[in-house]
Structure 1
Amino acid sequence: MVTTFRETSIPPQPAALTRCRVSGSTAFSGRTFPPRRGLSFISGRCSVAVRMIPPVQVSPLIKFTRYSALLVGMIYGKKRYDYLKPVAAEERRIEAEEKKKREELERIAKELAEASEESILK
């Protein structure tokens, strides 16, 4: 069943709700779905078509500005990435060294604890 709704600035009233019918029974356990503006909605064998509004012509100045901002953002991101990459590599190297030292100290502390426990038990 395809239904077309008039485009208005007033939201649809509950009476304008649409039911999808599949082979004589109501789909989705009898739930009703409001029409969606500006979309075609197809779910399984149910479909509700809404008249689309024509696209708005965008000014060439706005298009140019959008793409310029996109390009400037990409260039800035690349420069920032190149700046931060060596800093992050240095931080990872320092963290790896500290982790090795920390693990060595933990291993020594564990060995000392085991050694002292053995002497108490004997």
Structure 2
Amino acid sequence: MTEIGAPNPRTTTFIGGSEGEWAVTSQRMLLGPPIAAVSRVAMVSGNSPAAPDAAWILRGVATNDRYTMSDEKTSLLERQAPIGRPEATRAALILLKKTPDWWAMTQDERRAVLEEHIT
């Protein structure tokens, strides 16, 4: 349990700019306003302060796999290398801004929207 006011250990900060361990090979917008194009992304555990050359800073919190079915989770765990290991060479950062309309949908409706965007 995290005490009130303490940093959330599941928070991750993504910093888009010209530095970072991840090279950006493709960047596209499906819906909504685009974010600035960058060549690299740094991923930092915690709520990192601003970086001088950052085009953007995104913060998020890892949550449970609420849209993943048990067979999908098993399959993913068998194949994917955790971030930070040498064999983890590719990643996708999918930005979602969740509105009150999103939260008004049922769990299966939200999953259907995610599936539509991912495919």
TM-score (norm 1): 0.20
Q: Name the structure, 1 or 2, with higher relative contact order (CA <8 Å, separation 6+).
A: 2
TM-score (norm 2): 0.20
Higher share in helix: 1
